[in-house]
Amino acid sequence: MTTTRLTRYDRSMLRLMNDRRCQAWYATAARRRLAVAAHITLTVAIGALMTHFFLAEGEPLWPVAAMAVLLLPWMVATGIINGATRGLLELREHVLDERQSAERSRVLARAHRMTTLLLAATAVALLITGGVDGNAPKAYAAPLLIAVLVVHWVMPLWVAGLRAEDEPADDEMLEAGASRRA
């Protein structure tokens, strides 16, 4: 970390991502998995609403309102995962230390492999539906493309959230001692 001088933005992001006030929300693997599951569910729900909005006749407004409502918990879930990973994907490279940089590379590599598989599966599904119903690829290509793009964008966050590990055991005694000395 910190061989390059940190900007004010870097320092504020570093503080934000290492804020321990909400630590209880992602303290255990089960809670982190729950946050990732909630994030995936909300992403799928928002995507489905967006697809409905574009494909439905007359472009009804209720899906837009529902999306706006779901965006808030989606942002909270994003914040929980970012907190669990200590901003692994949000902080700039020179803010991370060597372990975090290596972990970010591993996360991005794994997410890349998964989205490659997803893209391949989507292409195969489109080809098969095209074989059955000639118009299907044309109708579903745009929403599917957007869905895959969104998944490609958030997959690293999901992978990072699932790979995050528990905090090392407390250092409270030493920290209390240090604050007493200060």
Q: Binding of another protein at residue 167 (CB under 8 A)?
A: yes
Question: What does the alpha-carbon distance between residue 164 and residue 89 come to, in Å, rounded to a whole number?
Answer: 12
Q: Is 97 in the site for another protein (CB under 8 A)?
A: yes
Interaction with another protein in 105-134: which residues (CB under 8 A)? none
Of 31 and 152, the one with the shorter C-beta distance to another protein is 31
Residue 93 binds another protein (CB under 8 A): no
Q: How close are the terminal C-alpha atoms of the chain, in Å?
A: 25
Among 64, 79, 100, 126, binds another protein (CB under 8 A): 100
Distance of CA 11 to the CA centre of its chain: 22
CB of 99 to another protein, least distance (A): 4
Distance CA 101, CA 32 (A): 21
Q: Exposed (0-12), middle (13-18) or buried (19+): which is 102, by Cβ within 10 Å?
A: exposed
Largest Cα–Cα distance in the chain? Answer: 76
Q: Does 175 bind another protein (CB under 8 A)?
A: yes
Put residue 87 in one of left, alpha, beta given phi > 0 → left and psi -120 to 50 → alpha: left
Task: Determine which residue in the list 36, 81, 89, 96 makes contact with another protein, applying CB under 8 A.
Answer: 96
Residue nearer to another protein on the CB measure, 6 or 37: 6
Residue from 82, 86, 104, 115 touching another protein (CB under 8 A): that is 86
CB of 24 to another protein, least distance (A): 17
The answer to whether 130 and 137 are in contact (CB under 8 A) is yes
Least gap, CB of 172 to another protein (angstroms): 9
- Nearest distance, CB of residue 165 and another protein, angstroms: 7
Residue 37, amino acid: A
- The identity of residue 147, as a single letter, is A
Residues in contact with another protein by the rule CB under 8 A:
1-3, 86, 96-100, 165, 167-169, 171, 174-175, 177-178
